[in-house]
Amino acid sequence: MGAFDAIDIAATGADVSQLWLEAIAHNIANVNTIRSADEEPFRAKLVHAEEALDATGRGRGARAIQILESQGEPMWVWDPEHPQASEDGYVVRPVVELSKEMADMIAAQRSYQLNLQVIRTNEEAYQAALRIGR
């Protein structure tokens, strides 16, 4: 393991956590996005990440490999006064669970904070090592 590998690995984790937080923010911003009955509903974006490996198969951190859309049936709501209501008076609610998004936001935020703390701690250790012998 190289001298700065811990920083590099933590940086990849912070990058994935940041992408995750951005997806969650997008999902929360669209939690009330109503679509007409003939349109596909907004679906929550999910970041799919995996371990990043080097050529020898050793772990080198994390990387986002794709952004998926949540599955499941949308909720049909009867709201004949809504401008996008169908002839039957229905609109389609987004496929987003606010409670899940809030829980994921806490986990993503903690992951981001922990990765930054690893970076800070390693930088401090390297700085202390440079001061030895002065």
pLDDT in tens, 65-119: 999 999 988 989 999 998 888 888 899 999 999 999 999 999 999 999 999 999 9
Mean pLDDT of 7-16: 95
More confident residue, 37 or 75: 75
At 51 the pLDDT is 94
Q: For residue 77, give Cα distances in angstroms to 26, 29, 36, 74.
A: 22, 20, 10, 10
Tokens found for residue 1: 């393991």
Residue type at position 52: A
pLDDT of residue 59: 87
pLDDT at 2 exceeding the cut of 90: no
C-alpha torsion angle, residues 108, 112, 113, 119 (rounded to 10): 160
Closest CA to 101 of 38, 36, 12, 20: 20
